[in-house]
């Protein structure tokens, strides 16, 4: 059982979605002061904390958790990880991830913390390219326009790989026909747009979907590879 505490709801949602897609049970909150109650109620084994939170700093929350729940493992995420490494390591933090990080980095750190055997690439019914998913940073989002028979939508991309992308639609989108392929225009930060086609797959609710790329061009693959390098993959 995992608890994620981050006062940025978008990042919280992305991390929760990616860990749940990997078969892990996750609870989440944007309010650090709720963390201890959730740990006690749900028998949390690992707590993932953002360090820079306004209501209560992640560092202060770590000290509370270590005092009240010494068996709970801790993992930290921060855009300034290097500045906090010495302090958080002293509290027994298992992993410290620097933002932005990939879905693979997040899952690997969680598996190490919980001593879970790492899944082989392609195992467990993973979609094509799932092991190489990159999570975009909040300050450098990926733009995607999806175009169907009766709609045009600009969607938020929650992760991307050569196999496809996770997308979030900010309103109810229950009328989409997932039996048909759609066109997509993808714009990665600092790069020109590329066009592709994809098949929509249902996500965890009617706002989260997966777009499985179909016949992705070699140019598009190069652009995604270059984007991965800029994200430190």
pLDDT classification of 28: cutoffs 50, 70, 90: very high
Condensed to tens digits (0 to 9), the pLDDT of residues 32-53 reads 999 999 998 998 999 999 888 8
DSSP letter string, 19-84: HHHTT--EEEES-GGGHHHHHHHHT-SEEEEES--SSS-HHHHHHHHHHH-TTSEEEEEETTHHHH
- The tokens describing 218, both together, are 């070699």
- The tokens describing 223, both together, are 């652009």
What pLDDT does residue 29 have?
Answer: 93
Better-predicted residue by pLDDT, 55 or 100: 55
Burial 67-95 (b: 16+ CB within 10 A, else e): eebeebbbbbbbeebeebeeebeeeebeb
CATH number for the region 134-230 comes to: 2.40.10.220
Burial 16-43 (b: 16+ CB within 10 A, else e): bbbbebbebebbbbbebeebbebbeeee
**Cβ atoms of 55 and 32 closer than 8 Å:** yes
- The tokens describing 138, both together, are 């909040």
What pLDDT does residue 58 have?
Answer: 84
**At the topology level of CATH, where does 2-125 sit?**
Rossmann fold (3.40.50)
Q: Which of 31, 30, 25, 65 is nearest to 47 (CA)?
A: 65
Condensed to tens digits (0 to 9), the pLDDT of residues 176-214 reads 666 678 889 999 988 889 999 888 887 777 778 888 998
Q: Where are the domains of the chain?
A: 2-125, 134-230
* Mean confidence (pLDDT) of the chain: 80
pTM of the entire structure?
A: 0.54
Condensed to tens digits (0 to 9), the pLDDT of residues 91-135 reads 777 778 877 777 788 888 898 888 875 544 444 433 334 446 788
For residue 80, pLDDT over 70 is answered with: no
CA distance 172 to 102: 27
What pLDDT does residue 9 have?
Answer: 86
Q: Do the domains 2-125 and 134-230 sit in the same CATH topology, yes or no?
A: no
**Cβ atoms of 224 and 213 closer than 8 Å:** no
């Amino acid at each position: 059982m995992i608890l994620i505490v981050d006062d940025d709801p978008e990042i919280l949602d992305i991390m929760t979605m990616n860990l749940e897609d990997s078969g892990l049970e996750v609870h989440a909150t944007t309010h650090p002061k709720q963390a201890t109650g959730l740990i006690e109620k749900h028998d949390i084994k690992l707590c993932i904390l953002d360090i820079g939170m306004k209501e209560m700093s992640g560092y202060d929350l770590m000290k509370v958790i270590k005092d009240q729940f010494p068996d709970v493992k801790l993992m930290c995420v921060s855009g300034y990880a290097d500045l906090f490494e010495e302090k958080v390591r002293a509290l027994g933090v298992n992993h410290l991830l620097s933002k932005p990080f990939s879905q693979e980095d997040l899952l690997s750190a969680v598996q190490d913390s919980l001593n879970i055997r790492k899944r082989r690439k392609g195992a467990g019914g993973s979609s094509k390219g799932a092991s190489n998913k990159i999570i975009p940073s909040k300050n450098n989002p990926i733009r995607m326009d999806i175009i169907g028979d009766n709609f045009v939508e600009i969607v938020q991309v929650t992760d991307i790989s050569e196999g496809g992308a996770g997308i979030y639609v900010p309103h109810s989108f229950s009328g989409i026909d997932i039996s048909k392929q759609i066109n997509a225009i993808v714009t990665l930060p600092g790069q020109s747009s590329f066009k592709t086609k994809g098949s929509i797959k249902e996500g965890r609710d009617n706002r989260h979907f997966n777009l499985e790329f179909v016949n992705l061009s070699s140019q598009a693959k190069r652009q995604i590879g270059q984007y991965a390098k800029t994200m430190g993959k």
